[in-house]
A and B are shown apart, each in its own frame.
Chain A
């Protein structure tokens, strides 16, 4: 598979202060990469560095000359004051294809409508973007990302603050785009359990500059995760799905190792939410 993006000994951060160092990896055509980690660990900084919005502190990024990026930002970063329709927002994805000084043509409008259809919301084309639900906004932004006719789609927390149904529908949509159109996916999430069953490869960014990357199967083992997170957890397989379960005593005494809970019988009632969840 041809390499789309190659990171070599990369250090990323702000104001010459490295947040993560020693990042080396290859993103190949048709890959599905998940980037997981708690808030503030450097996931978005990594993606912004890959996109070229933030310069790397050290190392270099090589991109394939025919690389076309479709970017799906966190929908919460967009200002609702703008009176734009869903159609207007998706059409923005065509602007780089249309070119500077040129006007939007019939073809671009048709592509925009087709993409709204593809993401399952053709009826919302004329609705104001700000009035849409979180899931509908996310579909609009995915359609906009696809409007560039990309070979890599980079998504920043596409299921953030969604209910379980919305989360599942968005993940199904992303998977179908990946499988049907062979688009490379690079997706940020802070939910390890969500990405564990979709991404073939993982980048785990933990606090204190910890960075691990590799195949999901190899990375998602009890031993490896314990080493990365330094907490007591298990990886379970249930009906072909992977679940990472953090022991309750880790939640109640996050740095103590009391060993009260049996590692293989996590009690849902006692297992409280703690990252990685």
Chain B
């Protein structure tokens, strides 16, 4: 990485010191974290366009809570049988809590994808219950396993700074899988999201595509949250897409812009958190919110 020291502006940025160590020197330690944040941002921001357009922002919040509940339950059951699912367990190839969390999120996604015809229960209330019930249950479980709260917090809400090689590998694999599905089925996902009735009438299996789309949300959320935490994942799913939608009237450009905003937010947020000793997730969220400004200026100044 020594060649980076010879690039004029970049070297000044990279050699900024915090707690007696420059960013460049800390890179080997932070490398996994930076890559994990960038990958999670890329996938979440891309999927975020669907989430914002389908007006299901709180579905992603609910999925993150269900995913956390899966982790908490697996830890509780593990403790009951004397199995320790602490941070050390992350060194194995696949973490049991992560698998359980994904199964929980996938099942919740399939249920939330169903259009409810029931008149007395609104969709909003179902999403609300799916958010608040797991959130409460996670707190109850954490209370029961209070001894290991710190370790569980890390598994539940991730630690964007120190990401294990296994977590990074799983995140990369999941990201590739999700983006491949979207590359192959992009047009079907768009039609089924925009006008499901017409899509179905004109021979597109809209219900199946909608469920598959939700499945990709569940996979992205469960894997990303265990790697970098709930707050940055939720912000990547909402803010870059909104910023892009404020700027462009063309769907393809919106996808590109949202993805770029997300990845830039991850890099600059991570850097800012190192330089100013800030919490990494919150720093990434703060940086991503700056991308809302151009769209807001365009909206209010040129309308």
> Which B residues lie within 8 Å of A52 (CB)?
200-201
Count residues of chain A with CB under 8 A from any CB of chain B. Answer: 34
8 A Cβ contacts from A107-131 to B:
128
Alpha-carbon distance between A159 and B204 when the two chains are bound, in angstroms: 26
8 A Cβ contacts from B242-257 to A:
245, 248-251, 254
Given A88-B251, A95-B188, do A73 and B117 touch, yes or no (CB 8 Å)? no
Closest-by-CB residue of A relative to B193 is: A82
Alpha-carbon distance between A154 and B201 when the two chains are bound, in angstroms: 10
Which one of A88, A95, A101 contacts B184 once the chains associate, using CB atoms below 8 Å?
A: A101
Alpha-carbon distance between A145 and B200 when the two chains are bound, in angstroms: 12
User: Among B117, B190, B194, B254, which residue has the most Cβ atoms of chain A within 10 A?
Assistant: B194
Q: Are B250 and A83 in contact (CB under 8 A)?
A: yes
Interface Cβ pair total, 8 Å cutoff = 80
Alpha-carbon distance between A70 and B202 when the two chains are bound, in angstroms: 6
B143 within 8 A of A: no
Q: Mark A64-107, 1 if CB is under 8 A from B, else 0.
A: 00000111110001110111110011001101101011001000
Which one of B187, B201, B248 contacts A83 once the chains associate, using CB atoms below 8 Å?
A: B248
Q: Mark A44-62, 1 if CB is under 8 A from B, else 0.
A: 0000100111000000000
Alpha-carbon distance between A72 and B201 when the two chains are bound, in angstroms: 9
Q: Are B250 and A85 in contact (CB under 8 A)?
A: yes
Q: Are A53 and B251 in contact (CB under 8 A)?
A: no
Taking chain B's interface residues, is the majority helix, strand, or loop, or is none over half, making it mixed?
helix
Alpha-carbon distance between A104 and B190 when the two chains are bound, in angstroms: 13
Q: Are A83 and B249 in contact (CB under 8 A)?
A: yes
B198 within 8 A of A: yes
Alpha-carbon distance between A166 and B233 when the two chains are bound, in angstroms: 47
Q: With both chains docked as a complex, state the minimum distance between the C-beta of B242 and any C-beta of chain A, in angstroms.
A: 11
A184 within 8 A of B: no
Q: Mark B173-200, 1 if CB is under 8 A from A, else 0.
A: 0000000000011011011011101111
Q: Are B251 and A92 in contact (CB under 8 A)?
A: no
Which one of B55, B117, B200 contacts A51 once the chains associate, using CB atoms below 8 Å?
A: B200
> Which A residues lie within 8 Å of B117 (CB)?
14-15
B203 within 8 A of A: yes
Interface size class of B (residues with CB under 8 A): 20 to 34
Given A82-B251, A104-B187, do A96 and B200 touch, yes or no (CB 8 Å)? no
Given A70-B202, A85-B250, A128-B249, do A100 and B185 touch, yes or no (CB 8 Å)? yes
Closest-by-CB residue of B relative to A88 is: B251
Alpha-carbon distance between A53 and B49 when the two chains are bound, in angstroms: 27
> Which B residues lie within 8 Å of A72 (CB)?
198
8 A Cβ contacts from B189-236 to A:
190-191, 193-195, 197-204
B278 within 8 A of A: no
Q: With both chains docked as a complex, state the minimum distance between the C-beta of A57 and any C-beta of chain B, in angstroms.
A: 14
Which one of A53, A69, A82, A148 contacts B194 once the chains associate, using CB atoms below 8 Å?
A: A82
Q: With both chains docked as a complex, state the minimum distance between the C-beta of A90 and any C-beta of chain B, in angstroms.
A: 12
Alpha-carbon distance between A72 and B202 when the two chains are bound, in angstroms: 10
Alpha-carbon distance between A52 and B204 when the two chains are bound, in angstroms: 12
Given A51-B201, A69-B201, A77-B197, do A95 and B249 touch, yes or no (CB 8 Å)? no
Closest-by-CB residue of B relative to A156 is: B197
Where the two chains meet, the residues of B that have a C-beta atom closer than 8 Å to any C-beta of A are 52-53, 55, 117, 184-185, 187-188, 190-191, 193-195, 197-204, 245, 248-251, 254
Residue pairs across A and B with Cβ atoms less than 8 A apart, 14 shown, are A14-B117, A51-B197, A53-B200, A69-B201, A70-B202, A71-B201, A72-B198, A78-B194, A89-B194, A92-B190, A92-B195, A95-B187, A101-B184, A128-B249
Given contacts A83-B254, A92-B191, A93-B202, 11 further A-B contacts (CB under 8 A): A14-B117, A71-B197, A71-B198, A73-B195, A77-B197, A81-B245, A84-B251, A88-B251, A95-B191, A96-B203, A96-B204
Question: Nearest 6 A-B pairs (CB), nearest first?
Answer: A96-B203, A71-B201, A51-B201, A128-B249, A92-B191, A83-B249
